């Protein structure tokens, strides 16, 4: 049985029928979070049904049509990831995730999901990985965004849950959009720039009670970096400290919650040791009790340093 370390005290490994009691204990803890969204949480209320759930996935793995993996934190099962559907012939699969409260806000589900997507594209040659989520499941939708997936559309009234019809959002990522699947030098540079932009945007994320990581901005920028806002009243220029400090406060004092922002399109030009990226982005959150959504544009300049690519400046404007 393989074990994939996610961090010093966390592991990803297969969930098997022999784990049924541990799985049931975990689902009992997780049920308030996952019961509305994952059918087997509803239908695994006792040891017999929990064993049957894991056996179904064992049978799917044997048939190469699905898989399920658990996330253990300090030796306790706290969540997992799965392929509910895996069709090697068509090159399409679906990935899903879940977690109990103890596994939230640590980045474990994102790491585990990335590992499964890497395996699907690199090892199995899949062309498309999908993510299905109820339109009401905001945590799952945010997870798809953080993985760099694109929202393809909505299946209206697609499923029934306790007598109510629910819409299902379909998100996806393609193999040529996933950085790990290409090894050419230009692609390696582009992947690094993608990583920097993802880290910058993700630094502000405090959805689901997660802690924002605003100090990451100091890691992705050169020390002399500039960040510039361009509202109608004219440009506002920040050094890193002037930009980070008020946003750290706002994201942690309760005035701005459930905040995230993500790219919806980008164009990147790479030269020898400089690069330029133009992006369109969306954002959403709750500010002072009022939910909001917004869009805008960013231009970002990068420089290649002895320790790798870094951001040099970023300018943004909101619509």
pLDDT in tens, 215-266: 889 989 999 999 999 988 889 999 999 999 999 999 999 999 999 998 888 9
Q: Which of 43-47, 109-113, 188-192, 221-225 has the lowest mean pLDDT?
A: 188-192
Q: Which of 156-170, 190-204, 252-266 has the lowest mean pLDDT?
A: 156-170
Structural domains of the chain, ranges and CATH numbers in brackets: 4-179 (3.40.630.30), 183-318 (3.10.450.50)
- List alpha helices for 90-184, DSSP H: 108-118, 138-146
Strand-pair partners of 282: 262, 295
Q: How far apart are CA 80 and CA 297, in angstroms?
A: 35
Would you say 55 and 14 are in contact if contact means Cβ atoms under 8 Å apart? no
Mean pLDDT of 147-170: 85
Give yes or no for residue 183 having a pLDDT over 50.
no
Residue 121 per-residue DSSP state: I
φ, ψ (nearest 5 deg) of residue 185: -55, -45
Q: How far apart are CA 91 and CA 67, in angstroms?
A: 15
pLDDT category, 36, cuts 50, 70, 90? low
Both tokens of 106, joined, read 């640590």
Mean pLDDT of 48-54: 93
Pairing of strands 92-99, 128-134: parallel
275: number of CA atoms within 13 Å, CB side?
24
pLDDT value of position 210 = 80
Mean pLDDT of 151-166: 83
């Amino acid at each position: 049985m393989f074990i994939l370390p996610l961090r010093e005290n966390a592991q990803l490994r297969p969930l098997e029928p022999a784990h049924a009691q541990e799985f049931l204990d975990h689902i009992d803890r997780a049920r308030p979070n996952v019961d509305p969204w994952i059918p087997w949480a509803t239908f695994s209320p006792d040891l017999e049904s929990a064993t049957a759930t894991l056996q179904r996935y064992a049978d799917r793995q044997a048939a190469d049509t699905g898989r399920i993996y658990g996330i253990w934190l300090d030796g306790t099962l706290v969540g997992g990831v799965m392929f509910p559907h895996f069709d090697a012939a068509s090159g399409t699969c679906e990935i899903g995730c879940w977690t109990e409260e103890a596994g939230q806000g640590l980045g474990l589900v994102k790491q585990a999901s990335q590992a499964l997507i890497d395996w699907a594209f690199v090892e199995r040659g899949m062309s498309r990985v999908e993510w299905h989520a109820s339109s009401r499941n905001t945590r799952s939708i945010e997870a798809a965004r953080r993985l760099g997936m694109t929202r393809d559309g909505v299946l209206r009234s697609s499923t029934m849950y306790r007598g109510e019809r629910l819409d299902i959002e379909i998100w996806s990522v393609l193999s040529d959009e996933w950085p790990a699947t290409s090894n050419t030098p230009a692609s390696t540079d582009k992947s690094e720039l993608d990583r920097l932009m993802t880290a910058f945007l993700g630094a502000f994320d405090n959805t689901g009670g997660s802690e924002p990581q605003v100090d990451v901005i100091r890691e992705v920028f050169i020390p002399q970096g500039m960040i510039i806002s361009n509202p109608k009243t004219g440009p506002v220029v920040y050094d890193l400290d002037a930009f980070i400090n008020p946003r750290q406060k706002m994201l942690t004092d309760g005035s701005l919650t459930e905040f995230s922002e993500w790219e919806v399109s980008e164009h990147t030009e790479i030269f020898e040791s400089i690069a330029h990226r133009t992006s369109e982005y969306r954002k959403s959150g709750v500010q002072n009790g009022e939910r909001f959504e917004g869009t805008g544009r960013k231009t970002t300049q990068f420089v290649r340093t002895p320790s790798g690519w870094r951001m040099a400046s970023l300018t943004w404007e909101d619509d």
